[in-house]
């Protein structure tokens, strides 16, 4: 299974991001979406799971959860926008992967047997950080992260 990860679009959905996410089985947006039009475009690619970011404050985002737990086969994912607001012990809850956005900085690290991922920002450039999306490859209980830096 191939899952596309995107975050921090802030209302800008670049054609390069859409192209990089083609062919995924599922999409995850880790918040700071910037408008319902972003979700409409992403849903054209694959089924979509999304969490609300700190900038998603208008009425269109009222029904979007701040946290989600998803399961793909043997792998459990926990989604939130800002990793600093993680208020559970993922290992104790049986979570395999924590996915967040907010920092605009890509992250791929393992802590206490849990994988922590951030696809970076696909929206407006912040400082000198890359514009990126990511893919999460799940095969049984094996997980592989692939960061895709977009040339924009």
Domains of the chain: 2-149 (3.60.21.10)
Question: What is residue 152's predicted lDDT score, i.e. its pLDDT?
Answer: 77
Instruction: Output the CA–CA distances (angstroms, integers) from residue 49 to 12, 43, 80, 102, 126, in the order listed.
Output: 18, 9, 11, 17, 24
pTM to 2 decimals?
A: 0.96
Is 90 exceeded by the pLDDT of residue 128? Answer: no
Average pLDDT over residues 1-12: 97
Confidence tier at 130 by pLDDT (50, 70, 90): very high
Distance in angstroms (rounded) separating the CA atoms of residues 121 and 106: 8
**Strands 97-99, 107-111: pairing kind:** unpaired
């Amino acid at each position: 299974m191939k899952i596309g990860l995107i975050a921090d679009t802030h209302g800008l959905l670049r054609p390069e991001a859409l192209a990089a996410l083609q062919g995924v089985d599922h999409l995850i947006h880790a918040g700071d979406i910037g408008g319902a039009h972003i979700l409409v475009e992403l849903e054209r690619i694959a089924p979509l799971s999304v969490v609300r970011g700190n900038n998603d404050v208008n009425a269109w985002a009222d029904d979007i959860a701040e946290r989600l737990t998803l399961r793909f086969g043997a792998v459990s994912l926990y989604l939130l926008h800002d990793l600093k607001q993680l208020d559970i012990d993922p290992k104790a809850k049986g979570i395999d992967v924590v996915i967040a956005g907010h920092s605009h900085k890509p992250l791929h690290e393992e802590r206490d047997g849990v994988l922590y991922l951030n696809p970076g920002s696909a929206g407006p450039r912040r400082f000198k950080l890359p514009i990126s999306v990511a893919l999460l490859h799940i095969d049984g209980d094996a997980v592989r992260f692939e960061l895709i830096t977009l040339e924009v």
